[in-house]
Structure 1
Amino acid sequence: MGQLLGQIRHLEACWSDESVTHLVEQNAQFQQRVQQLSQDLRQVEERLQAARTNNRFQDRRIAQLEAQLLEHSSGG
C-alpha cells in the first residue's frame, strides 16, 4: 500500500498546477462537446423518425394513386 501511495505522489509531483488547470479545462470542454453531440444526435434521430413517417405516408399515397389509375384504365 505504501508503495502505491508513493507512486501516486510521484505522479502528482510530475504535474504542475498549470498542467492540471489545463487538463481540467480540456475535460470541461470535452464534456460540453459530448453534451452537444448527444443533443445533435437526438435531433438527427427525431428528424430520421419524421422522415420515415413521411416516407410511409408517401408510399401509401402512391399505392392509392396507382390503384386509382388501374381502376380508371380498366374502365372501373
Structure 2
Amino acid sequence: MSKEIERKFLVVGDSWKKESIGVLYRQGYLNSANERTVRVRTIAHKGFLTVKGLTVGCSRLVFEYNSLCPR
C-alpha cells in the first residue's frame, strides 16, 4: 500500500511531439465509484491491477499488483 499525491504540470511548447520513443499502454476500468477505482493496465509485457481509494485532500491510498503477461 502506498499513498498517491496528485500533481499536475503544464507543458509549454510542442517540442515533445518530436520524440519517437514510446511504450504501448492499454488499460480498462473494472469499477469506478466514489469510494474506489479499479484499473487493469498492460505496459509492454507487464500487467498491473491497481485499486485506488477515496481522495482526501490531494492524496489517496493506492494498492498495485503486477505480473508478467504472456506473449
Whether the TM-score (by the shorter chain) exceeds 0.5 is no
More helix per residue: 1 or 2? 1
State TM-score, norm by structure 2: 0.18
State TM-score, norm by structure 1: 0.18
